[in-house]
Structure 1
Amino acid sequence: MPKHDTSGDRVLTGPRIALGLITEDDREPYRALYTSCDVMAATAPPLSIEAADAQFDLVLRHDTAAKPGHRAWAVESPMTSDGIGSAVLHRRGDEATAGIMLRRDKWRQRMASEIFLRLLPQAFLTLGLRQVTAHSRLPVKGLLAPLGFIPGSRQGDMEVWTLGRKAWRYEPDGQGKASEVPQALLGTDANGGDAGLTCSPGTVGPTHPLGTPGAERPTVRPQGEDRVRHHRVS
Structure 2
Amino acid sequence: MEDFFDIDTIIEISRHYRALGPLLGFLLPFVEAFLPFLPLFVFVIANATAYGFFFGFLLSWAGTVAGSYMVFLLIRRFGETRPFRFLTKSAKVRKLIHWVERNSFGPLFVLLCLPFTPSSLVNLVAGLSNMKRKVYLVTLMAGKFVMIGTASFIGYDLKALFTQPVRTAIVVVVIIILWYAGKHLEARLNRKVEADFREISEQQAAASAQQNAEKKDKPRGDK
Q: TM-score range by the shorter chain?
A: under 0.3
Give me the TM-score of the superposition, normalised by structure 2: 0.26
Q: Which has the higher contact order (CA 8 A, sep 6+)?
A: 2
Larger helix share, 1 or 2: 2
Higher strand share: 1
